[in-house]
Structure 1
Amino acid sequence: MSVIDSKVANIHELALEHSAQGERYESRSVRIGSLLGAKDLGYSYDVVPPGKRSCPFHSHRGEEEMFFIVRGRGSLRYGNETRAIRAGDVICCPTGGPETAHQIVNDSDEELAYLSVSTMMPVEVCEYPDSGKIGAYAGELRHMTRPGDAVDYWVGEA
């Protein structure tokens, strides 16, 4: 069965893309939702090697996320807490500020694989507490800044 011809995909048959950034970030992943024609939800499958994470610690102001741990174990950073996670766990990450910031870390000696599901909003703002950045995303617009770099609303206006 071809992914293009169906609304069903098997995670074991998907072509995963490798990505890495620095010493801490690495994963093999695929965005499944767009392959299947999803409209309002985005879903991805990520496989993270030991000692790595797939993305920075962040929170969402517009999109809610859910993660399902398919195999392996690791840690969930959530707000000010860190807790152990393992295969079978379902994780809820609602919208909010730094108190809902989250990151899945593979601190084990085996691969960690998970599905993520998120609401797909046309506009999103993410905060990155570890680096003090704010990201604004809307269609092709992707802008990363820091709160101290802000300019007044009227600057440059005649």
Structure 2
Amino acid sequence: MVQIFNQKNLSFEFERFDMPDFSSHTSPDLAQWVQSKHLQFDVRSLDPDKYSCPYHFHRNAEELFVILSGRATLRTPEGLTELSEGDIVFFGTGPEGAHQLYNHTQEPCRYLDIRTEIGLDVCEYPDSGKINVRPYGEIYRSESKVDYFDGEDKIREKWRELSEKPAQNR
């Protein structure tokens, strides 16, 4: 199947978040229209003086932005860079791929956002110390990390309890 999209023909839905500094207009998930197996993509329009999302990186998803019109400032671990129409930016997995956009201009900035979708992803937010298990949207504080064997010290008691119960027939 071949599907052609043109940004001039797309409709945009306003995404209002609980914090006024974050908002954008997003096209419906175009990848769902074509039933893509491993890509998610949409066109976003970032309003003046707004941030795209909290500064973050993915553990299991790559991302690519293509600036279609306007300008924005990109934040990465290397610092700030101005992006303009025609720029293509790739974000790899891990802390090196951390990113956030801010529209520092008086005009909207439109960009194509393409992401891999291969199951579970962990999205981390360095500024706030949060971890997001996607697609479930389960968000945790990173300082609650524990050792792999935390809480496993009573394994023999658990097995003793289980062995005292009658075995189930198969």
CA distance in 2, matches of 1:52, 1:146: 25
Deviation at 1:151, TM superposition (A): 4.5
Deviation at 1:74, TM superposition (A): 1.2
Residue correspondence of structure 1 range 147-158 to structure 2 within 5 A? 147-153=142-148, 154-155=150-151, 158=158
After superposition, give the CA deviation of every residue in 1:51-108 in whole Å (9 maximum; x if it has no partner). 00221110011000010000001100011411111000000100012x3210111111
Which has the larger Rg?
2
The number of aligned residues is 151
List 4+ stretches of structure 1 deviating above 6 A.
none
Aligned-pair Cα RMSD in Å: 1.9
TM-score in terms of structure 1 length:
0.87
Residue correspondence of structure 1 range 1-158 to structure 2 within 5 A? 7-21=3-17, 22-30=19-27, 31-97=29-95, 99-138=96-135, 141-153=136-148, 154-155=150-151, 158=158
Give identity over the alignment, percent.
32
Structure 2 unaligned blocks of 5 or more:
159-170
More strand by share: 1
Query: Are the counterparts in 2 of residues 43 and 116 from structure 1 also a CA contact under 8 Å?
Result: yes
Deviation at 1:10, TM superposition (A): 2.0
Q: Aligned AA for 1:36? A: V
More helix by share: 2
Deviation at 1:152, TM superposition (A): 4.8
TM-score in terms of structure 2 length:
0.81
Match of 2:165 in 1: none
CA distance in 2, matches of 1:114, 1:130: 24
CA distance in 1, matches of 2:2, 2:9: 13
